[in-house]
Structure 1
Amino acid sequence: MTNEPNQPKQHDAVLGGQSPPPVQGAILGGIEGVKQRLASPLVKARIVAVNEALNYADAGLDLVIRALQDESAQVQHCAYQLLRDRIEPQVKQALREYKPWDLVERLLEKSKIYYRFTRFANRKVKEFDPQTGITQTAGAAYVLKDKHFDALLQDPKASKIEALLFAWGGAFHNDLIAAKDRLKSLKAVFSGPYGCDYQISWLNHHNISPILEAYPQLEILQVRCGGGLDCNPLRHDNLKALIVESGGLSSETITQICDLKLPALNHLELWLGTPNYGGDSSVGDLMPILYNGLFPRLAYLGLCNSEYSDEIAEAVADSTEIEFLKVLDLSMGTLGDKGAEALLNCPAVNRLDILNLSENFLSDEMIERLNQLDVQLIANKQKSIEQDYRNYRYCSITE
């Protein structure tokens, strides 16, 4: 009798009807049952199918490779864990191409907010010069100074621009929305004080929802502001990264962000700040992000620049979301050894790719223990109460 891997095995149940198989049930119909379960709207059913697929030789292996592109980060993570140690050439190629998160620029010293960017949205940053116009579109991000926006829009290549940095902040808001028919290729936007002598608290921001509505193809939105940021509930199918740099992010703003429907989001980074500048949030405001699966493709979670970093670390370590992250970023905050201990005691932390705990209040002994984890640890530039005029822990960016 021939061994046909694509056919039901002796004890497989026979698939019948169109109803999806129960999550905990036996695999129905051999590999066809696995395929049906992978098409289920239930994430748990797809995870079960991925785990069973390798029972069906090369055909099952192909299904696991395809699961790396599933809309759910949980399913992707399951497939990645099954494939990471395999040696087949097609698996190695798939893992090389698998990039659930690739904004490596966000791992640089972010507290240097007065510095000019060299890269934004994985593109080389160039200052727009009205005299020379647009010289490059693919792979370039143009910095716009006040009064240069009109000149850029008049350039024949404006429709091919992919990324813009508005160096004067919120004042660009209405102009950008009005230009939506000219900037048809725009995928990344930064707005906020940039490359000048300023305090982050000086600038309030507008509602970001009209920008998202005007640019349905937008993939990255990075906002730098003191306060005033808000958003209305909406669905945006293409936004991959939302970064809010603030010295004081309000509880209300966090709630509004949690109400956004962003199925493609894989990078969420919030600078929480201090109550002295409007940062009145608490760890309870973050619970929907940590437990409710709001953003199914999330791979990078940054809860940075916080005065309650120990509480955040304890909540993250106990959360369901930590199981599916590639990068956890708690930098620029007030994390001490107590919060770090919670991370050490969380098995899922050891399955991260990167753990960024830079610019906190960790002891040398704790950093040595954290270095035993099987992750890339970033723990440079620890702050010290003893070496600072302040006699308390503080977040890095406030005013």
Structure 2
Amino acid sequence: MSKSNQPRDFDAVLSSKTAPPPIDGIVLGGILGAKTRLLSPDIKVRRTALSEAINYGEPGLDLVIQALQAESKQLQRTAYSLLKKRDEEKVKQALQNYIPWNLEERLRRYPGYRGDNVSIFANRQVENFVPEVGITNPINTAYALRCEYDEEESAVDKLEELLQHPSSGTLEALIIGAWSGEVTDYSSSAIIEALVAASYKLINLKALFIGDIHYQESEISWILQSDVSPILQAYPNLEILQVRGGTGLEFSSVQHDNLEALIVETGGLNADTIAQICTCNFPNLTHLELWLGSPEYGGNSSTYDLLPILTELVFPNLIYLGLRNSIYSNDIAETVINSPLIDAIKILDLSMGTLTDKGADILLTSPGVRQLDILNISENYLSDDKVALLSLQQSRGNFNVCVMTNEQKKDDYEEEDYRYCSVAE
């Protein structure tokens, strides 16, 4: 039997009585082989089997639908990923009972490290708005307004040009990059005022990012923000609001019934700003992501400031909780495992911080953490041995949660004072 025809582990095989199946047997493969491999203790084998099963017609589709109820959270998410773009009626019905989290883009490495702007926002490809080209795909494209260094035209001017396009009223996703040619000299207040005034025209806007500015344009701590709550008041249908830059950032108390995701990226998030966010009423918020940052750049919070989120449950419907880019990640780990929220969320993201092996152990001995879909502890201070052990435990199916551990920082001094969050200045 040629190597290409050799049965793989957990392929279904018909064997003769005189030779072991891997040598003298017929690989059944197909749907039966996929079913057999789904019994493997190796989660990678099971996920691969599920990905293959989708190609085997109705029986394969039924197998993937059944996996939405699998004990393994990783297998559930694999099934969801395979089904979410299909339009069969039974698939739609099956997905009604599965509450998804659809912002996988947030698990990607921060593009600002490379001096890049975002290429995907709100599950849409990003294009710079060019007046001569106009708006060709208002539903599936996020259009960006950006100013180059020393450019005389401001983002307010570019917004006026966009509003003149006949398809602006159907635009769903908008990005504001550097709002002037000297972005470090001006706050976001002028573009926010212009966006508020434009709300009569941008009636279908669902996703807005204010401050897609990378380090070559401005350090994150130099980005001057302002009160962004007027945006929420002006756009009642907004579902995603992302803001970069913590200096001057404010949230006046506001109610917004449709906001699903709030993302605040900073090199230092002030405790007062966290308190302001917690006074807002966002009943449908499922994704809350805060980059807490360094005290050298305004990040003066502690776990005490997170208690409204973790114990008072001011946002009780969260699926994703991101407390990222923190200098006190171990303290967060200890607090979050005792939070009632841990039994409700599906994704906990403590990446880009200062988590050590001690913090990882605190998390992974918690029953609440083990029922998660995803635990993202990338870009922390886990040892090579801990990362290897976690990888081995996952491959053996010792726990179902998908633990992301890539790109750990070197803990050269093994002292807290020398550990830093990933994004600060």
| TM-score normalised by structure 1 residue count | 0.75
**2:166 partner letter:** P
* Structure 1: distance between partners of 2:332 and 2:94: 31
* Structure 2: distance between partners of 1:144 and 1:93: 36
**2:110 partner letter:** K
1:264-306, CA deviations, whole angstroms, 9 ceiling, x for partnerless residues?
Answer: 1000000000111111000110011111221122000000000
Are residue 271 (structure 1) and residue 291 (structure 2) matched? yes
Give the equivalent residue in structure 2 for 1:225.
Answer: 245
Aligned with 2:163 (options 153, 165, 179): 153
What is the CA-CA distance between 1:135 and the residue it aligns to?
1.2
2:213, 2:220 within 8 Å by CA — same for their partners in 1?
Answer: no
* Structure 2: distance between partners of 1:197 and 1:178: 27
* Secondary structure class of the residue paired with 1:112: helix
Aligned with 1:381 (options 407, 410, 413): 407
Give the equivalent residue in structure 2 for 1:185.
Answer: 204
Q: How does 1:52-63 map to 2 (within 5 A)?
A: none
What is the CA-CA distance between 1:315 and the residue it aligns to?
0.5
Give the equivalent residue in structure 1 for 2:107.
Answer: 107
* Structure 2: distance between partners of 1:363 and 1:92: 42
**2:211 partner letter:** G
Q: How does 1:311-326 map to 2 (within 5 A)?
A: 311-326=331-346
What is the CA-CA distance between 1:194 and the residue it aligns to?
2.4
The answer for unaligned runs of 5 or more in structure 1 is 1-67, 69-76
What is the CA-CA distance between 1:157 and the residue it aligns to?
0.7
2:237, 2:258 within 8 Å by CA — same for their partners in 1?
Answer: yes
**2:309 partner letter:** I
Give the equivalent residue in structure 1 for 2:191.
Answer: 172
**1:157 partner letter:** S
Give the equivalent residue in structure 1 for 2:9.
Answer: none
* Secondary structure class of the residue paired with 1:179: helix
Cα gap change, 1:345/1:90 in structure 2, threshold over 3 Å: closer, same or farther? farther
Q: Which sits farther off after the overlay, 366-375 or 151-160?
A: 366-375
1:193, 1:203 within 8 Å by CA — same for their partners in 2?
Answer: no
**2:386 partner letter:** M
**2:171 partner letter:** I
**1:139 partner letter:** N
* Secondary structure class of the residue paired with 2:325: strand
Cα gap change, 1:209/1:374 in structure 2, threshold over 3 Å: closer, same or farther? same
1:216, 1:237 within 8 Å by CA — same for their partners in 2?
Answer: yes
Give the equivalent residue in structure 1 for 2:424.
Answer: 398
* Structure 1: distance between partners of 2:94 and 2:293: 37
1:306-349, CA deviations, whole angstroms, 9 ceiling, x for partnerless residues?
Answer: 00000001101111100011100000000011111110120111
1:313, 1:343 within 8 Å by CA — same for their partners in 2?
Answer: yes
What is the CA-CA distance between 1:364 and the residue it aligns to?
2.1
**1:167 partner letter:** G
What is the CA-CA distance between 1:249 and the residue it aligns to?
0.3
* Structure 2: distance between partners of 1:370 and 1:177: 48
Cα gap change, 1:199/1:177 in structure 2, threshold over 3 Å: closer, same or farther? same
1:187-246, CA deviations, whole angstroms, 9 ceiling, x for partnerless residues?
Answer: 110011425432001112111111100000000000001321111112100000000000
Q: How does 1:172-251 map to 2 (within 5 A)?
A: 172-194=191-213, 196-251=216-271
Cα gap change, 1:190/1:398 in structure 2, threshold over 3 Å: closer, same or farther? same
* Structure 1: distance between partners of 2:385 and 2:358: 12
What is the CA-CA distance between 1:116 and the residue it aligns to?
2.1
**1:112 partner letter:** G
1:241, 1:266 within 8 Å by CA — same for their partners in 2?
Answer: yes
**2:359 partner letter:** G
Aligned with 1:163 (options 173, 181, 184): 173
Q: How does 1:66-81 map to 2 (within 5 A)?
A: none
What is the CA-CA distance between 1:99 and the residue it aligns to?
3.7
* Secondary structure class of the residue paired with 1:384: coil
* Structure 1: distance between partners of 2:130 and 2:401: 43
* Secondary structure class of the residue paired with 1:173: helix
What is the CA-CA distance between 1:111 and the residue it aligns to?
6.1
2:178, 2:217 within 8 Å by CA — same for their partners in 1?
Answer: no
* Secondary structure class of the residue paired with 2:418: coil
2:117, 2:212 within 8 Å by CA — same for their partners in 1?
Answer: no
Task: Kindly report the root-mean-square deviation, in angstroms, between the aligned alpha carbons of the 2 structures.
Answer: 2.8
Cα gap change, 1:143/1:92 in structure 2, threshold over 3 Å: closer, same or farther? closer
* Structure 1: distance between partners of 2:361 and 2:208: 37
Give me the identity figure in percent.
48
Cα gap change, 1:303/1:174 in structure 2, threshold over 3 Å: closer, same or farther? same
Cα gap change, 1:387/1:296 in structure 2, threshold over 3 Å: closer, same or farther? same
* Structure 2: distance between partners of 1:320 and 1:352: 13
**1:182 partner letter:** K
1:193, 1:200 within 8 Å by CA — same for their partners in 2?
Answer: no
Aligned residue pairs, count? 319
Are residue 289 (structure 1) and residue 309 (structure 2) matched? yes
